C-alpha cells in the first residue's frame, strides 16, 4: 500500500478516517500492518501490500481462482493486441488525456486488464476486488507508483465518498448477489456537480441469450467444486472449441450453430493466435459456468438505475456488452 492512499481510505462500517499502525514499510510501500478506526477500534489488516477489508473466503472465490491462474491472459501487454484498451475506451467514451493525473476507481479489477489501460493514460488508479484476484493484479501491475489495490466489498467500499472524477465497473455487476444495490454503491463515489463520470457494463438480458446452452448448464456447474469444474473444462474445452469451429463453417447458419456448443469461441472475433484462442476459451467458459451469481440486465433496467442515481447525460448503449454511462448528479439534484 502506498502511503498517499490514506487520504482516501475510510472505515467501511462508520465512514471514519483510518490510521496506520504496526506497519512494515519496504521501498516506500506498506507490506504488512493494520488500518485502525480509533473511534470504534475496528482493525483491518494489510497483507502483502494490500489492505484487506473482507474475509478470505467469499462468494467470489471462482474469480480469485481464475484470475490467479490466468493473470496474464487478458492483459494487452501480454497478448500484443489492444483488445482490453479497445473495450475500455469504447465503453467509457473517455479520452486518455482526461484521465492523466486524476484519481480513478476501478471496481472489480480482476487481474488488472483495465487498470493497465488507465495507468498507461497516467491515471492514479484505486483498484478494488472482492476476491483474491487482487493478488494477481498486484503481481501484474504492483510496481506502478500510481496503482493502489484494495480487497473490499462493493456494498461497503472503504473509501471517501465524492472523491473520484472517474469510476468504472466492467464485467462485474451481474456477478454480485444484488445487482441494483451494487450499482447504486458507485455513484456516491463520484465527484459531485457533474464533475464525476461513471461507466458500467452488463451482459444483456434477452430471450435469445437465456436460451444459450451455458445458461442451461449453470444450475449444475455453479454448484460444482471449482477445481473439479476447471479440470473438466481443461480436458474438454479443446474438443468443444473444435466442434464449435466446425459448425461455424456451415453456410448461412454457421454463426448461429457454433453457439450451440457451450464454449467461449473467439475465432474470427479477437485477433489471437491459436494458443491464445485456447486459453481465452478456457478462461471465459469457466467464467460463464463457475460464478455463484449471473444476472444479465435489460436496457430499460439500466436506464432506470441511471435515473434513480441522478446521473446526467445518461446513455445506455451496446458496446460489446450493455453499457450505462454518464455524469454525476448536479448539486441541485444531489
- The ranges of the chain annotated as CATH 3.40.50.150 are 55-204+297-327
Tens of pLDDT, residue by residue, the chain (334 residues): 999 999 999 999 999 999 999 889 998 899 999 999 988 789 999 999 999 999 877 776 778 889 889 999 999 999 999 999 999 999 999 999 999 999 999 999 999 999 999 999 999 999 999 999 999 999 999 999 999 999 999 999 999 999 999 999 999 999 999 999 999 999 999 999 999 999 999 999 877 666 678 888 999 999 999 999 999 999 999 999 999 999 999 999 998 899 999 999 999 999 999 999 999 999 999 999 999 999 999 999 999 999 999 999 999 999 989 999 999 987 645 4
Those residues with Cβ within 8 angstroms of residue 175's Cβ, 6 or more apart along the chain or in another chain: 60, 63, 291, 292, 293, 294, 295
The pTM of the full predicted model, rounded to 2 decimals, is 0.94
DSSP of 51-119, one letter per residue?
EB-S-SS-TTHHHHHHHHHSTTTT-HHHHSS-HHHHHHHHHH---HHHHTTSEEEEES-TTTHHHHHHH
| Cell representation of residue 218 | 449453470
Gap between the Cα atoms of 189 and 198, Å rounded: 9
| Cα 302 from chain centroid (whole Å) | 17
Residues pairing with 106 in the sheet = 127, 168
Per-residue pLDDT, 206: 79
CB of 150 closer than 8 Å to CB of 51: yes
Of 52, 54, 69, 53, nearest to 226 by C-alpha is: 69
Read off the pLDDT of residues 307-321 as tens digits, 9 standing for 90 and up. 999 999 999 999 989
CB of 143 closer than 8 Å to CB of 122: no
Gap between the Cα atoms of 186 and 310, Å rounded: 12
Per-residue pLDDT, 304: 98
Gap between the Cα atoms of 282 and 241, Å rounded: 9
Read off the pLDDT of residues 242-295 as tens digits, 9 standing for 90 and up. 999 999 999 999 988 999 999 999 999 999 999 999 999 999 999 999 999 999
The CATH classification of domain 55-204+297-327, taken from the options 3.90.1200.10, 3.40.50.150, 3.90.220.20, 3.30.43.10: 3.40.50.150
CB of 278 closer than 8 Å to CB of 237: yes
Per-residue pLDDT, 152: 98
Per-residue pLDDT, 140: 97
Gap between the Cα atoms of 242 and 265, Å rounded: 9
Amino acid at each position: 500500500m502506498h502511503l498517499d492512499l490514506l487520504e482516501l481510505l475510510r472505515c467501511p462500517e462508520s465512514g471514519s478516517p483510518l490510521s496506520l499502525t504496526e506497519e512494515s514499510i519496504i521501498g516506500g510501500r506498506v507490506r504488512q500492518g493494520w488500518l485502525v478506526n480509533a473511534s470504534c477500534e475496528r482493525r483491518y489488516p494489510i497483507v502483502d501490500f494490500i489492505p484487506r477489508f473482507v474475509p478470505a473466503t467469499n462468494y467470489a472465490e471462482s474469480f480469485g481462482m481464475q484470475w490467479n491462474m490466468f493473470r496474464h491472459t487478458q492483459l494487452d501487454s501480454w497478448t500484443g493486441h489492444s483488445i482490453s484498451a479497445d473495450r475500455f475506451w469504447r465503453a467509457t467514451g473517455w479520452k486518455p488525456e482526461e484521465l492523466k493525473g486524476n484519481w480513478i476507481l476501478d471496481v472489480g479489477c480482476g487481474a488488472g486488464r483495465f487498470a493497465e489501460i488507465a495507468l498507461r493514460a497516467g491515471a492514479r488508479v484505486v483498484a478494488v476486488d472482492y476476491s483474491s484476484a487482487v493478488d494477481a493484479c498486484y503481481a501484474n501491475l504492483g510496481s506502478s507508483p500510481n496503482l493502489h489495490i484494495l480487497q473490499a466489498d462493493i456494498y461497503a467500499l472503504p473509501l471517501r465518498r465524492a472523491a473520484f472524477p472517474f469510476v468504472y465497473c466492467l464485467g462485474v455487476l451481474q456477478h454480485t448477489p444484488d445487482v441494483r444495490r451494487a450499482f447504486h454503491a458507485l455513484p456516491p463515489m463520484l465527484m459531485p456537480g457533474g464533475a464525476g463520470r461513471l461507466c458500467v457494463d452488463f451482459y444483456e438480458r434477452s430471450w435469445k441469450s437465456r436460451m444459450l446452452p451455458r445458461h442451461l448448464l449453470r444450475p449444475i456447474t455453479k454448484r460444482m467444486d471449482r477445481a473439479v469444474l476447471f479440470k473438466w473444462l481443461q480436458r474438454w474445452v479443446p474438443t468443444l472449441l473444435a466442434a464449435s469451429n466446425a459448425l461455424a463453417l456451415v453456410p448461412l447458419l454457421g454463426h448461429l450453430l457454433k453457439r450451440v456448443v457451450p464454449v467461449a469461441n473467439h475465432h474470427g472475433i479477437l485477433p489471437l493466435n491459436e494458443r491464445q484462442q485456447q486459453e481465452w476459451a478456457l478462461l471465459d467458459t469457466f467464467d460463464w459456468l463457475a460464478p455463484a451469481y449471473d444476472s444479465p440486465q435489460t436496457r430499460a433496467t439500466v436506464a432506470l438505475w441511471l435515473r434513480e442515481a441522478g446521473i446526467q447525460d445518461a446513455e445506455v448503449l451496446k458496446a460489446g456488452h450493455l453499457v450505462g454511462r454518464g455524469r454525476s448528479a448536479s448539486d441541485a439534484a444531489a
